[in-house]
Amino acid sequence: MIKNIPPRIEFVEVTDPDEIRQAKEQRRQFDRNREWLRTRVPDVFERYRGKVICVSAQELFAADTAEEAIAAAKAAHPEEKGWFTRIIPREKVPRIYAF
């Protein structure tokens, strides 16, 4: 029997200065990585079609799986916390992102 239990959402206010500092640094790293990719999107998308990429410390790591890309990025830059991944579609086709 399936029970209809509403999801539980909990909000926690973070006040620890060290956690806040770490979060801000992670965001700065993420923003730098995002900007680095933004300036290279056409080349990256053309070269890495069908791959998963991970950007860490303004360096790109490409692999067949997210786990492999993340592992390579972490091995090269263990101190970096602002990394992110993207799946590059195999084919360049029009995409609808909103209605």
**∠ CA(82), CA(16), CA(77), 5° rounding?**
20
| Structure confidence by residue, pLDDT tens digits, 53-73 | 999 999 999 999 999 999 999
CB neighbourhood size of 82 (10 A) = 18
Amino acid symbol at 68: E
| Structure confidence by residue, pLDDT tens digits, 77-95 | 999 999 999 999 998 888 7
User: What local confidence, expressed as pLDDT, does residue 7 receive?
Assistant: 85
Identify the bridge partners of residue 52 per DSSP, sorted by sequence position.
63, 87
CB neighbourhood size of 61 (10 A) = 22
